[in-house]
Each structure stands twice: as C-alpha cells, then as structure tokens.
Amino acid sequence: MGWRNIIMNFKTDILEIFSKQWALLTAGNKEKFNTMTVSWGGMGTLWNKPVVTVYIRPERYTREFIESSEYFTLSFLPEKYRDDLKILGSKSGRDCDKLSMTSLTAKPVENTMGIEQAEKTILCRKLYKQDFCADNIPEEAKKFYEKEQLHTMYIAEIISIIE
C-alpha cells in the first residue's frame, strides 16, 4: 500500500491531535531507547512526501536518541493514560527508568521502538532538521525561551501509520 492509501485512510483532526491528545515520541532500539511527551507538532506535505514535524529542545534526553537514529515513532494513546503522559513529560530518562513508573510498555516497531498501548503509531524517518534562530522568534513566543533553550525542528517522512 503506497503512502497515498495510508493518508486517504488516516483521518484525524490535525489541529487537535497534538495539542489536545498529546503524543509520545520514542526513539532508539530494543537495547536502549527513550520516550517523551510532545504536544507541539504538525502533519503535512514536503518534497511530495507525507511528513510530520516536531519541535524538540536540546535539553531532552530523547533528543540524543533522535539524533543517533534514522527512525522514531509517535504514539497516540487513549485518554486513560493521561497521567502516564504527564510522568513521561516531566521526568527525564536521564535520571530514572520513567517508563516503569507508568502502566505503559515499549515494543519494537520496525527498526525502532513504540508503545504497546498506543491507538495510533506513526513510524517516522528523519528528513530535515533546523535549530530555531533567536532572531526569528516573535515577541509573543519569547516567554517560551526564558528558562529553556530554543527548539530544534525535525521534519520526518511518515513511513506508516499503524492503527
């Protein structure tokens, strides 16, 4: 099935799925991986490919895994896991085995990792990245960078969507 079929069958409210549902971004392999909550992102088209865009700060441990891998997954979970997403979005895998503090479990997805309990998993292949530039941040968004560093934008090809 080509990507057009995948996209035609995949229905979502793109303005809500990241901001309201949140997602887990997971990268690495069976031996070593990490996952974190993300709620800023988008989906669309670039270079005639279906793509997903996420914004990751340099401080995130997960970012090291994104950097060292070609693939990562985005997992969208049922509402009952909201508290688990809060844990994975506030603790760092650098300091603890945070996944074991939740009711979630990881599973291999192709050559990367995903989350067993996900209702949708998007397998992503990195295509492009760019660090945000301080000069280009509008006044209204400067408050997001008072305590933490500028995001890196990652654009990744949607390889498959597992529902």
Ligand X SMILES: Cc1cc2nc3c(=O)[nH]c(=O)nc-3n(C[C@H](O)[C@H](O)[C@H](O)COP(=O)(O)O)c2cc1C
* Residues within the interface to ligand X (CB under 6 A): 22, 34, 36-40, 55-57, 60-62, 86, 89-94
- Give whichever of 4 and 13 is closer to ligand X, judged by the CB atom: 13
* DSSP 8-class letter at 71: E
Q: Are 69 and 28 in contact (CB under 8 A)?
A: yes
Please report how close the Cβ of residue 67 comes to ligand X at its closest, in angstroms. Answer: 12
Please report how close the Cβ of residue 117 comes to ligand X at its closest, in angstroms. Answer: 17
- Give whichever of 9 and 20 is closer to ligand X, judged by the CB atom: 20
What does residue 84 show for φ and ψ, rounded to 5 degrees?
-65, -40
Chain centroid, CA 1 distance in Å: 24
Report the amino acid identity of residue 109.
V
- Give whichever of 6 and 137 is closer to ligand X, judged by the CB atom: 137
Please report how close the Cβ of residue 56 comes to ligand X at its closest, in angstroms. Answer: 4
Instruction: Report d(CA 127, CA 99) in Å as an integer.
Output: 28
